[in-house]
């Protein structure tokens, strides 16, 4: 597991219930893995935005911020992107039946369900390279 550079981010993850913590930590690892294996992304900055663990491409400015958090209602969690990026509608076009969606801003996951890894890796990669395609 990737070490936390920011103690405030680590504290947010520690505060999740045990079963959810396992799921959101797996999603965190996936974000870092996709970033490390996607050309042009560079090192991610992990910080808190709106109290949510957030992953920024500050070094290269290649993509939009990706955030992870539990759902306010229910037992699930989500991967959030900027609602005006057009990414979630694009994900919905590519994978209409793979994910549950929240408007234009999130992919929703159940804590006890496996992640659709190939599709999710693709979506994370699209988010982390969003600005490269916009240029």
pLDDT of residue 52: 97
pLDDT digits (tens, 9 = 90+) for 6-19: 999 999 999 999 99
Please say if the pLDDT value at position 135 is more than 60: no
Average pLDDT along the chain: 94
Domain 7-134 has CATH 3.90.1150.200: yes
In the chain, domain spans: 7-134
Please say if the pLDDT value at position 83 is more than 70: yes
**Cα–Cα distance measured from residue 34 to residue 31, given in angstroms and rounded to the nearest whole number:** 5
Q: Are the beta carbons of 13 and 53 closer than 8 angstroms?
A: yes
Mean pLDDT, residues 89-109 taken together = 96
Provide the strand spans (E) within 8-65. Answer: 45-49, 52-56
């Amino acid at each position: 597991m990737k070490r936390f550079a920011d103690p405030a981010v680590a504290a947010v993850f520690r505060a999740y219930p045990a079963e959810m913590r396992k799921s959101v930590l797996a999603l965190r690892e996936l974000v870092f893995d996709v970033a490390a294996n996607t050309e042009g992304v560079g090192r991610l900055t992990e910080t808190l935005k709106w109290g949510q663990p957030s992953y920024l491409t500050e070094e290269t400015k290649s993509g939009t911020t990706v955030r992870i958090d539990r759902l306010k209602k229910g037992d699930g969690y989500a991967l959030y992107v900027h609602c005006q990026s057009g990414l979630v509608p694009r994900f919905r076009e590519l994978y209409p039946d793979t994910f549950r969606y929240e408007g234009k801003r999130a992919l929703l996951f159940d804590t006890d369900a496996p992640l659709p890894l190939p599709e999710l890796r693709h979506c994370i990669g699209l988010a982390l390279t969003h600005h490269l395609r916009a240029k």
